[in-house]
Chains A and B, each alone.
Chain A
C-alpha cells in the first residue's frame, strides 16, 4: 500500500478542509469529488503532512487550495511534471494530481502520457466535463463531435479523445472510471487508486452545470443509468440493465450487447482487471454511449516497478559497486598534474 502513514492517524473528513472558501459554481460536480476525497483520506488514515495535491489550470485545479495538506497549484497541463520531480525527490510522499480534460489531454497531453508510461507513483484524478469551464465554455478534447459551444457555434469539427484509451495506450498500470453523482462508487475507486502501487488514473464523469449541464445524464441519472452503464468487477461477467438482464459478449474481437434470456452468464465477457496484456481493458475503453453501456469501475490494475523505485535502485547499485562517492577524488578525477 502506498498510502503514507506514520502510526495511527485518526482524522475526520473535515480535518482535511483548508480555511479557503470553496468557489466553484453552486451545483458543480467538483463538490462531491472534494467531499469524497476528504472521506477517503480520513478512512485510510492519511497523514496530512505527507499528502500533496498538485494541479494544473482549470476549474478543477483549484482543488489543492481547499485541502489542508501540502499543495501546488501549478501551470496549465504541467502538474504531472511537478509531481514527477516531487516523487523523485521524495518517494515517500502521497501525491495526487487533480486535472481536467483540457489540462490533462490537450495542453498537458504529452506529460500525461509520459508520467503514466514511467509508472510514476502518483494518482491522477481527471475531472472530465467535456468542456472548458474556466474560460467560459469552449469545446475540449473530450467534447463530442458536432457539440455546439462558444468557440464552435456550428458544432465542433474535432473527434473526441477517449481518456481511458489514451491512458492504456500510455501503459497505465491502473485505469478506472467513476461518476460524480455516485459518491459510494467514487469512494471505492479512489480507495483502490490510493492503495495501488504505481501510477493510477481515474476518469470522473463530472457535470458542469453552467456550460455543459447534463452531458452525462445517461450515466448519472438514477432513473436511467442502469441501462447505460456497466459496473466492472474483477472475475465477474459484464451484466447490466435495471433488471440485470443484459450483458456484453465477445464475438471474435467485436463486443455485442446480448439478452440474458438468450445467453448464459458464463458465455459473457468476464472482466479481468489483472490481465498482463491491456487488450481487454482497451476494448472496454472503446464502449461508448449510446451503442453500448459505458463501463464504470477499474479497467486495469496491474503492478510493476514504480519509477522512483527503479531510479532508487540504480543509485543503490551504483553506491554498492563504486562506494559512496568521494567528492574530492571526483574533482581530481581524469588525469591530474601538480605544479610545485
Chain B
C-alpha cells in the first residue's frame, strides 16, 4: 500500500482508435466494493480476492458488513463493504485507504468515500442515484451533479447495462437486478487486468446444474462488465500488479475461521483422535461450525447445542470421554461458558476454547472487531482459575495457534483458550499449506494400569504437572471427578484448608510452567532502541506495516507481537527493558498494557482505539512518533 502509485499520478494517457488501452504497472492496489447488504458485495469482493491470489499476488482482505442481515434497502445502516489489497510484494493489511471504490448506491458512496485516497478512482452505479435512493442515504441533492472532490469519478449505468447483458439468459425479471454485482466485478477485473476464468468457473460450479439461467446471466454480465471497461471511453487505462515473490510452495487463500477449523482437524489427525466440536451459533464465530460440519468424512462430530452453556458442557463431556474436544464462540458466548470453563480447569481435562472477539460489552458490535476480551480470557472466572491463552496474529496463523493449543491442552491436561477476532476470523490471506507428514505428532496417553500400589490416583501428576487422562471404559481405573475441590493425588473430595492451598498452587504452577508450542512472539526490528511497539492478536499486520514505515523514516523503532498471552514468554521482561519506551497498541482500553505492567513493573504506555475497526496504519505511525517525542 505504501509503495502503490496513485492513478492520479499517472496523468491521462492517450489512446488511438482500435488500440488496446495503455497499461500502468503498480506494485500494490487496494479496492473496496460497497453496496447494499443485498447487492452481493461480499461475493464480489471475495471473488476479486480469490482471483488475485490465484494469479500470484499477495492479498489481504477485509469484509466490513452490518449486523442486520437485511437492513432496509438503500439505507446507510445496510451498507456492506469488502476491501482487498493485492500486491507484488509482502503486504500485511488490507490498506488504510483504497485506490478504488465501487459504490453501488448513494448510501455506499456516502459511507465509503472517506476510505478513498486523494485522487483515487470512484466507480459509481449512476442508475441508483435517483431521488428516493438519495433521500434514504440522506443526500438533499445528487452528489454526482457536481465534482465530488479530488477523485476520478466514473459513472457507470450498472443497472441498465446489467439488464441488457442478461436479457437473453432466461432469467425472471425479478432476479435480473441481483446479477449486477457481477457486472461491477467485471469492470473491476478489466481495470486491474484480472482473468475472468476463476470466477466463471465459480459461477458454473455454484449455479451451473442447479440454476442454469442464473449461471448464464451471471457469466454474461461478468463478461459484459469486462468488455464495458475495454470499450467504454470512461476508462483511459488499465493497471497491472505483478505476482508477489513469496516463499516457494503450494498456496491457498484462507480466512481465520477456516484456518481454525482446519487446525482442529489437523490436530485430531496428529493426535490419532476423533474431533468433537460443540458450539452455538454466534457471530463472528459461526463459520468454524459451518466448516467443520462439512467434514463428517473426517469423522468430525459437530454438535449444535441449545445454548453456549451446553456447548461448553458437551465439550467437557467429550473430553472426559477421550475425544479431542473443542468449542468456539464470541464474547457474549464466552461469558456464558465461564462457569463451565472453571469446571474444565478444576477437573483438568484437555480441550480448546476459541473466542472470535467482537465489539462489546454485551451484544456490542456483533460483526465488528475488538480485542477487549484479553483479561476475560486470562482471568475472567471465579476462584484462582488459570489457563493458557494463545492469540492468533493473522488469518493463516489461526491454523498454527489452534494446533499449538491442542498440543498444550493434551500435554498439560488443561483447557486452552485461543483468541482470534472478527477481523482475523473473516479476513483472508494466502497461506503456504503445510506438509502434514512433516508435522510433529501430538502424543496422547490414556493409562490402562493403576499408577500406584494403592490403586488409580487420578490427581497424581507427571513432571509437567499434568494428571493422567484415564477415560471411562478402562477397567480398574474407575474414578470420580467434579467441581468440588479434590485431594491432591487421590482425587477424593477434600475440604482440608492445606489441601486447597496446595491444589490452588499446583494448578497455578502447572499453567505458569507451560512451554510454548510455537513462536511466543513475532519480532520486527532490532533487539534494543528508543521505542518498542507491543501488540497481540489480529493487529499484527497493521503494527508491522507501521513499524516498517517508521524504520524507513530512520526512527529507532522495533515491534514485538505476542502470541502467548498466558503464560507470557519467559524472556519478555528482559526484551521489553532493552527499549527506552514501550507503547502497547491494542483495540481496547489497555488490557495488555495492564497485564505487562503487572508482570514486569515497566512504565508501558498505550495506543488504544475502540471503533470496531482494524487499526489504521498511519495512526500507529503518528502515535509512535508522539511517543518518541515524549520525555
Chain A interface (Cβ < 8 Å from any Cβ of B): 18, 20, 47-50, 52, 54-55, 57, 64-65, 67-75, 78, 80-90, 92-93, 110-111, 113-114, 311, 314-315, 317-319, 321-325, 327-328, 330-340
A325/B252 contact (C-beta < 8 A), A85-B325, A90-B472 known? no
Assess the A74–B482 pair: CB atoms within 8 A. Answer: yes
Contact of B322 among A90, A335, A340 (CB under 8 A): A90
Contact A86 B317 (CB under 8 A): yes
A90 and B480 contact, CB distance less than 8 A: no
Residues of B within 8 A of A57 (CB): 483
Residue in A72, A75, A81, A335 whose CB lies within 8 Å of B314: A81
A110 touches B296 (CB 8 A): no
CB-CB under 8 A from B479, the residues of chain A are 70-71
Instruction: Determine if B318 and A85 form an interchain contact, defined as CB atoms under 8 angstroms apart.
Output: yes
Contact partner of B493 among A20, A47, A330, CB < 8 A? A20
Q: Is the CB of A84 within 8 A of B303?
A: yes
Measured CB to CB, the closest approach of chain B to A174, in angstroms, equals: 20
Chain A residues near B300 (CB, 8 Å)? Answer: 315
User: Is the beta-carbon distance between B473 and A90 smaller than 8 angstroms?
Assistant: yes
- Listed from nearest, the 7 A-B pairs whose CB atoms lie closest are A81-B313, A85-B317, A73-B482, A85-B314, A325-B298, A71-B480, A318-B296
Contact: A75 with B340, CB < 8 Å?
yes
* B435 on interface, CB distance cutoff 8 Å: yes
CA distance A67 to B472 in the complex (A): 14
Asked whether A81 and B473 contact (CB < 8 A) given A20-B492, A89-B301, A330-B262, the answer is no
Residue of B nearest to A335 (CB): B54
B250: A residues at CB distance < 8 A: 332, 336-338
Give the distance to chain A from B442, nearest Cβ to Cβ, in Å.
13
Contact, CB under 8 Å: B262 / A331: yes
Asked if B53 CB lies within 8 Å of chain A CBs, one says yes
A75 to B343, Cβ gap below 8 A? yes
Whether the pair A331, B296 counts as a contact (CB closer than 8 A) is no
B50 touches A335 (CB 8 A): yes
* CB nearest neighbor in B for A120: B314
Contact with A along B307-322 (1 / 0, CB 8 A): 1011111111111111
Q: Is there contact, CB below 8 Å, between A327 and B265?
A: yes
Contacts of A113 in B (CB 8 A): 306
Contact B325 A332 (CB under 8 A): no
A328 in contact with B297 (CB, 8 Å) = no
Contacts of B474 in A (CB 8 A): 49
B470-496 interface mask toward A, CB cutoff 8 Å, 1 = contact, 0 = none?
011111111111111000000011000
Q: Which residues of B contact A69 (CB under 8 A)?
A: 478
Q: Does B278 contact A (CB under 8 A)?
A: yes
Q: How far is the CA of A92 from the CA of B474 in the complex (A)?
A: 12
- Which residues from chain A contact B53 at a C-beta distance below 8 Å? 337
Shortest Cβ distance from residue A101 to the other chain B in the assembled complex, whole angstroms = 19
Which of A50, A64, A88, A325 is packed against the most chain B CB atoms within 10 Å? A88
Query: Which residues of the other chain, A, contact B471 by a CB distance below 8 angstroms?
Result: 90
Residue from the list B262, B309, B314, B478 in contact with A70, Cβ < 8 A: B478
B104 smallest CB distance to A (angstroms):
26
Taking CB atoms, residues of chain B closer than 8 Å to A328 are 435-437
Give, as a whole number of angstroms, the nearest-CB distance from B352 to chain A. Answer: 14
CB contacts (< 8 Å) of A48 on chain B: these are 475, 478
Q: How far is the CB of A230 from chain B (nearest CB, A)?
A: 34
A84 to B311: give the CA distance in the assembly, Å.
10
Q: Are B314 and A82 in contact (CB under 8 A)?
A: yes
Chain B residue nearest to A92 in the complex (CB): B473
Nearest CB in chain A: distance from B370 CB, A = 28
Q: Find chain A residues with CB under 8 A from B342 CB.
A: 75
Which listed residue, A317, A319, A340, touches B248 by the CB 8 Å rule?
A340
Please give me the residue from chain A that is nearest to B278 by CB atom. Answer: A85
Using a CB-CB cutoff of 8 Å, which residues 60-118 of chain B contact chain A? none
- Determine if B299 is an interface residue (Cβ-Cβ < 8 Å): yes
